[in-house]
């Protein structure tokens, strides 16, 4: 019985620390706007990882068809009719430490390309989203701003 | 026993959550109207325009190319001739993002291009013999800066220092022969399919140093099947987009440099004895003013992911292949009347170029 009490107590003491780590990691959760202002992305936690989906488009309809925009540049033909609104373009991010989330990818619907990606939280309302090819030097950083109800337009 | 079960459950929970993770592309129904009326949480946040329009041909981070020109001739002022069976050489480009943010993009550009000549030349043809023996080479270092001012306006700056001449890689020219080019443009980003701007450049694209106005125009049609990529007068292309990984470009590029030729003794002899209207003027500091117009078709496509192949073919029209005696750089411009030390006639020819490229996100 004593052997069973020890792991239980350890788990019990670890809870507050885990809870703190969760809170720190979850700061990324929210609605963000990429620098071009053409979309809004909601980052949420699913399981142990973080994902971001498009929840708003400045131009929701395709000017050519008049219908809601779809992922027509996707290299996988079977996904070209998937609506962009609701599309998860950030995938599989884990909280690395401090202000950094990595291990994920970002998808660019404009050209159908997927890039390796790291996310750095510069401050509570600013994310540096760096998409790159293989090594971080060959990449581009986009700055995303947090959105809130009643925020500045 | 109950405790044991609890402990095992606790330990197993993260794994089960991981396994239960959904397919990340699955679309979930949600009331998206709730996101319509959001604003910046940070009151000081600002939006900026981007440096591209939709479907612009991808920018090359690394480019390894090979250029091949067909047969053509060279005639020097005394009538001596050279016949080149072909000329060819490698072309390397590195465009490394140093700072890439939405409020500024700074790139470092490194380029190297060589041209070697194969053929025959009359014994009196000093320039032709020099080209056959030594070829031409350009190595340059530069920067490109894109500075968006807001959602609609931007400034684009390009600057480079190039060492061009008939030097070998193990026998570089002194850096005092560096030639500096620059361009500054103020532009408007009207929407995601159109950006344009006006500016001024100092350039060697026509062979000699020149100051000319420049016009930037990048456009993509509403159906996104075609567009235009123009930096006039340096280059202008019509773009046909088959899909995001296959594009065809039709147009032209002006290409040129001022090459320092180091074979001064030979040129001195030649100048003193053979060049009409240039008697007693020793060409002690010969600079070859090479400027050419490349009318071309380029097909660019993705081999795999970000590895692209570019196939290019066209006609190389010679604009200038004159030699100046340049103790110090001077400005002739389009309307200057300073005579050249050697006025040569270079033939036109067909050319082809292939390059393997790592393109930018």
Closest to A47 (Cβ–Cβ): which among B18, B30, B39?
A: B18
Question: What CA–CA distance (Å, rounded) separates B345 from B333?
Answer: 20
Question: What CA–CA distance (Å, rounded) separates A78 from B29?
Answer: 20
Question: What CA–CA distance (Å, rounded) separates B189 from B195?
Answer: 4
Contact A108 B7 (CB under 8 A): no
Q: How far is B107 from chain A (nearest CA, A)?
A: 11
pLDDT, tens digit only, all 361 positions of chain B: 444 444 433 333 333 333 334 444 555 567 888 888 888 888 777 888 989 998 899 999 999 999 999 999 999 888 889 999 999 999 999 998 888 888 899 999 999 999 999 999 988 888 898 899 999 999 999 999 999 999 899 999 999 999 999 988 888 888 888 999 999 999 999 998 999 999 999 998 888 889 999 999 999 998 889 999 999 999 999 999 998 889 999 999 999 999 998 765 566 545 444 444 444 455 667 889 999 999 999 999 999 888 999 999 999 999 999 988 877 677 887 777 788 888 899 999 999 999 999 998 7
- Is A136 contained in some domain? yes
Contact A87 B102 (CB under 8 A): no
CB-side exposure of B121: number of CA atoms within 13 Å?
A: 17
This model of the complex carries an ipTM of 0.78
Peptide bond into B233 cis (omega under 30): yes
Domain count within chain A: 1
The answer to whether B265 and B285 have CB atoms below 8 angstroms apart is: no
Chain B interface, best mutation among A30, A95, A145, by max B CB count within 10 A: A145
pLDDT, tens digit only, all 153 positions of chain A: 555 565 555 555 554 545 555 688 889 999 999 988 889 999 999 999 999 999 999 888 987 788 899 998 888 888 889 999 999 999 999 998 889 999 999 998 888 888 999 999 999 999 999 988 877 777 788 889 999 887 777
Please write the tens of the pLDDT for every residue from B178-210.
Answer: 999 999 999 999 998 999 999 999 998 888 889
Question: What CA–CA distance (Å, rounded) separates A81 from A87?
Answer: 11
The gap from C-alpha A30 to its chain's centroid, in whole angstroms, comes to 9
The answer to whether B216 and B197 have CB atoms below 8 angstroms apart is: yes
Contact B360 A140 (CB under 8 A): yes
CA nearest B7 in A: which residue? Answer: A8
Q: Is B222 on the interface with A (CB under 8 A)?
A: yes
Name the DSSP class of B176.
G
Contact B37 A42 (CB under 8 A): no
The answer to whether B52 and B191 have CB atoms below 8 angstroms apart is: no
Q: Which chain B residues have a beta carbon less than 8 Å from that of A141?
A: 100-102
pLDDT for res B21: 42
Contact A113 B305 (CB under 8 A): yes
Contact A63 B222 (CB under 8 A): yes
Longest dimension (CA), chain B: 110
pLDDT for res B5: 46
Q: How far is B313 from chain A (nearest CA, A)?
A: 26
The domain that holds A111 is classified in CATH as 2.40.128.520
Q: How far is A56 from chain B (nearest CA, A)?
A: 6
Q: Is B21 on the interface with A (CB under 8 A)?
A: yes
- Is A39 contained in some domain? yes
Chain A interface, best mutation among B8, B24, B26, B56, by max A CB count within 10 A: B24
The answer to whether A98 and A118 have CB atoms below 8 angstroms apart is: no
- Is A20 contained in some domain? no
CA nearest B27 in A: which residue? Answer: A86
Name the DSSP class of B172.
P
pLDDT for res A7: 59
Name the DSSP class of A70.
B
The class that CATH gives domain B61-330+338-359 is mainly beta
Question: What CA–CA distance (Å, rounded) separates A69 from B349?
Answer: 47
* Residue among B151, B38, B191 nearest A153 (CA): B38
10 Å Cβ neighbour count for A55? 23
Domain spans in chain B, listed from the N-terminal domain onward = 61-330+338-359
User: What separation, in Å, do the N-terminal and C-terminal C-alpha atoms of chain B show?
Assistant: 56
pLDDT for res B350: 97
Longest dimension (CA), chain A: 71
The answer to whether B86 and B188 have CB atoms below 8 angstroms apart is: no
Q: Is A42 on the interface with B (CB under 8 A)?
A: yes
> Helix (H) and strand (E) counts for chain A?
1, 8
10 Å Cβ neighbour count for A22? 12
- Is A19 contained in some domain? no
pLDDT for res A90: 95
pLDDT for res B213: 96
SS3 category, B206: coil
Query: DSSP per residue over B289-336, as a string?
Result: EEEEEEEEEEEEEEEETTEEEEEEEEEEEEEEEEEEE-SS----TTT-
Contacts with B, A 67-96, CB within 8 Å: 73, 75, 79, 82-83, 85-88, 91-92
pLDDT for res B23: 47
Chain B interface, best mutation among A5, A6, A7, A90, by max B CB count within 10 A: A7
* Residue among A117, A110, A35 nearest B193 (CA): A110
Q: How far is B223 from chain A (nearest CA, A)?
A: 6
Query: What domain range includes position A132?
Result: 27-147
Under 8 Å CB-to-CB from B117, ≥6 apart: which residues?
B84, B87, B131, B132, B135
Q: Is A12 on the interface with B (CB under 8 A)?
A: no
Q: Which chain B residues have a beta carbon less than 8 Å from that of A21?
A: none
pLDDT for res B291: 93
């Amino acid at each position: 019985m004593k052997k069973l009490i020890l792991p239980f107590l350890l788990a019990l003491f670890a809870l507050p620390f885990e809870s703190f780590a969760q809170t720190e990691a979850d700061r990324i959760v929210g609605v963000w706007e990429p620098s071009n202002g053409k979309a809004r992305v909601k980052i949420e936690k699913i399981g142990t990882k973080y994902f971001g989906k498009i929840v708003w488009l400045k131009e929701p309809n395709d000017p050519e068809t008049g219908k809601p925009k779809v992922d027509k540049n996707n290299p996988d033909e079977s996904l070209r009719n998937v609506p962009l609104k609701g599309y998860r373009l950030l995938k599989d991010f884990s909280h690395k430490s401090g202000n950094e989330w990595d291990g994920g990818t970002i998808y660019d619907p404009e050209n159908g390309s997927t890039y390796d990606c790291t996310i750095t939280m510069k401050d509570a309302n600013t994310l540096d989203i760096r998409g790159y090819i293989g090594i971080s030097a060959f990449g581009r950083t986009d700055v995303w701003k947090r959105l809130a109800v009643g925020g500045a337009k | 026993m109950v405790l044991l079960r609890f402990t095992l459950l606790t330990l197993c929970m993260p794994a089960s959550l991981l396994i239960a993770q959904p397919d990340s592309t699955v679309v979930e129904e949600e009331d998206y109207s709730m996101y319509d009326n959001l604003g910046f949480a940070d009151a000081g946040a600002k939006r900026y325009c981007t440096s591209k329009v939709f479907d612009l041909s991808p920018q090359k981070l690394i480019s390894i190319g090979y250029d091949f020109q067909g047969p053509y001739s060279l005639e020097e002022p005394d009538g001596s001739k050279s016949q080149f069976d072909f000329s060819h050489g490698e072309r390397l480009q590195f465009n490394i993002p140093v700072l890439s943010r939405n409020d500024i993009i700074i790139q470092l550009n490194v380029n190297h291009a060589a041209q070697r000549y194969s053929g025959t030349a009359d014994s009196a043809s000093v320039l032709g013999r020099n080209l056959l023996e030594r070829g031409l080479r350009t190595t340059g270092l530069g920067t490109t800066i894109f500075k968006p001012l807001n959602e609609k306006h931007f400034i684009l700056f390009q600057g480079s220092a190039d060492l061009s001449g008939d030097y070998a890689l193990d026998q570089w020219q002194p850096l005092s022969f560096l030639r500096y080019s620059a361009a500054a443009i103020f532009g408007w980003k009207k929407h995601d399919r159109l950006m344009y701007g006006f500016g001024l450049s100092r350039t060697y694209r026509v062979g000699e140093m020149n100051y000319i106005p420049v016009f930037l125009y990048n456009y993509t049609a509403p159906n996104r099947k075609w567009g235009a990529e123009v930096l006039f007068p340096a280059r202008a292309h019509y773009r046909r987009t088959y899909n995001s990984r296959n594009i065809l470009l039709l147009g032209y590029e002006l290409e040129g440099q001022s090459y320092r030729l180091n074979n001064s003794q030979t040129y001195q002899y030649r100048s003193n004895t053979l060049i009409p209207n240039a008697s007693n003027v020793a060409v002690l500091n010969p600079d070859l003013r090479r400027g050419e117009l490349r009318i071309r078709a380029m097909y660019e496509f993705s081999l795999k992911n970000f590895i692209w192949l570019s196939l290019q073919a066209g006609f190389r029209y010679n604009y200038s292949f004159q030699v100046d005696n340049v103790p110090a750089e001077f400005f002739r411009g389009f309307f200057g009347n300073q005579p050249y030390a050697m006025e040569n006639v270079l033939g036109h020819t067909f050319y082809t170029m292939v390059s393997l490229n790592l393109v930018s996100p």
